[in-house]
Structures are given as C-alpha cells and as structure tokens.
Amino acid sequence: MLENLIFSLNATMPIFLMMVLGYILREIGWLKKEAISAINKLVFKLFLPALLIIDLVKQDFSSIWDSQFVLFCFLATILSILIATVIALFNPNKEDRGEMIQAAYRSAAATLGIAYMTNIYNNASTVSLMIIGSVPVYNVVAVLVLTITSPENSGLDSKSALIIKSLKNTAKNPIIIGIIIGMVWSVTRLPQPPIAMKTITYLGNLASPLALIGLGASFHFEDVKQKFGPVCTVVFCKLILLCCIFLPVAIYLGFRDDKLVAALIMLGSATTSSSFIMAQNMGHKGAISSCAVMLTTLLSSFTLTFWLFVIKSMGYI
C-alpha cells in the first residue's frame, strides 16, 4: 500500500511543485504578465508540437496505433459533453451555462497529459492517440456551445462564421499539426538527420517544465471568489464525476498502463487555460472559466494522485 502511494506521489508531486514554482516566480516579480503570456504561447505553438513529433518519430506508428483506444477517447469525450450539458441546465442563470459546459469537459489533455506521461513512462506517444480522439472534439464543440449561449452573439450569420472559423482553427492547431507531422514522418520512414533530431529534441525537452511553470504563474487565488457555486459544480464534474463514470469502462475494455493513465488524464486533469481565453473572446464574462482553471489546476494534483493510487493498488498500472 505504501509503495503504491509513493508511486502516485512520485508521478504527481513534481508536476504540482513545478506549478508552485511558476506561481512563486510571478509573486516575487521574476515573471511578468507579458513573460507568462509569451511562455504559454511558445509552449503551445512550438515546444509541445516538437515533443509530440520527436516521440512519434521514434515509434513504429503502426505498432502503437489502437483504433479501440482512439474510439474510446472520442466517445467518452462526446458523452462527457452531454453529461456536462445536463448538469449546466440545472443552473438558472442561462448566461453561465456555456462556460460551465466547456469548463466541465475540456481538459488540458496535451499540456498535462504529456507532462504526466513523460514523468511516469518517459514517453508521450500514447497521449498522441488520446489527443487525436479528444482534442478536435474539445475545440469544435467549445465554439458551438459558447456561440449558442453567448449573450452578445445574435443572428445565424455571425454564428455560422464563428463555427467555420472554429473548424479552420482546429485544422491549424499546432498540437494537431505536430501529431500529423510525427505520424507521417514515422509511417513513411523518412531519414532522421542527427542535426534535425537533436534540435527538435532540445525544443521538446522544454515543453513540460515551461508548460507547468506557465500554468502555475497564471493562477490567481482572488479570482476564485466569483461564481463560487457553479465553479464547485464544474470542479466536481471535471475531477471526480467523469472519472467515476468512464475509468471503469476503460478498465473493462482492457486498457492498462500508459493507455489507462492517458485516459485518466483526459477525464480527470485540469480544465485547459485556453477555455478562459475562448470564453472571453466569444462574449462571455469568463469568471467561471477562470475560476475553474485555477481550482482544477490546484486540486487536480491531489485528485490525480488519488486516482493513480487507486488504479495502481488494483494492479492496472
């Protein structure tokens, strides 16, 4: 039992401590708002795609592809959205519902998934399969939900334009592009020049630590005061409810080790920080989104430790 707890803490505490470091660096003035924004942008557009490319290039992609796992991630994401929608409908304030739905299902699957998988298994290739099954759905549905529930948007033309823009942005998502490049490079067995491989490796090695520092530096305790009730509902759904529903399904389907951990990250990791940016840019106040990001980022270090401890104790990882 103690060995399983130590395994779980070894997987989660370095992640949590890196986020704490980011928060401290901001508080002491070493990281300014502009620097934090630049770090998050670099991680999303350059370092994370590089890490995914280098992980996939090293793999025999035909050997790691798992259609059942990708389909599970896709269907679990769709059902998670439906569950979040039903829960949000109980909120009498209609303007809050769009933010609640998005924050309750949309995980930081790429950022935290890669960090956890690299920390536990020293490889993030399985996360790529999870991202393929979930992240495109995250992005498209988020825009649809926020468009429909936005207090500012009216008229079919503007909503149609936003939906089309969302589809284009999904196709241009750096994470998706990194996965495609890595897959094509692996499948076609193109040459891997040492100079290119070392350069991409250097960039990829920066992804996890800088992503975690950026997340921690974006945390503000004072933001939690607003919309506390709806946010608590979102946090429960994001970190507890979805795991209770879909982790047993993943175990029943036979997913073990890295695939089960990737599914756990998809279901029970923190709400992605981009949900706040998207909500604000689509006419919502953003209070629920920002609070959800803050609280789930803080609490997920403890809830993920618990879930890892459970599945480790049961012998599934």
For 132-192, the DSSP string reads HHHHHHHHHHHHHHHHHH-SS--SHHHHHHHHHHHHHHHHT-HHHHHHHHHHHHHHHT---
pLDDT computed for residue 63 by the predictor: 73
pLDDT computed for residue 159 by the predictor: 58
Residue 99 is inside which H or E element, if any?
A: helix 94-105
pLDDT computed for residue 53 by the predictor: 87
pLDDT computed for residue 184 by the predictor: 87
pLDDT computed for residue 126 by the predictor: 83
The residue extents of the domains of the chain are 2-313
Q: Is the dihedral of CA 165, 171, 177, 181 positive or negative?
A: negative
pLDDT computed for residue 199 by the predictor: 94
Q: Which of 68, 34, 56 is nearest to 177 (CA)?
A: 56
pLDDT computed for residue 282 by the predictor: 72
Inter-residue contact 238 to 246 (CB < 8 Å): no
Which parts of the chain register pLDDT below 70? 1-5, 7-8, 11-12, 61-62, 152-163, 165-166, 169-170, 223-224, 226, 277, 280-281
Q: How far apart are CA 110 and CA 49, in angstroms?
A: 10
| CATH T-level assignment (fold) for domain 2-313 | Na+/H+ antiporter like fold (1.20.1530)
Report residue 10: phi and psi, to 5°: -65, -30
Q: Which of 162, 111, 158 is nearest to 135 (CA)?
A: 111
- Report how far apart, in Å, the C-alpha atoms of 169 and of each of 2, 5, 140, 156, 257 are: 46, 41, 9, 20, 33
Retrieve residue 146's tokens.
């926020």
Question: Residue 223 carries which DSSP code?
Answer: G
pLDDT computed for residue 156 by the predictor: 44
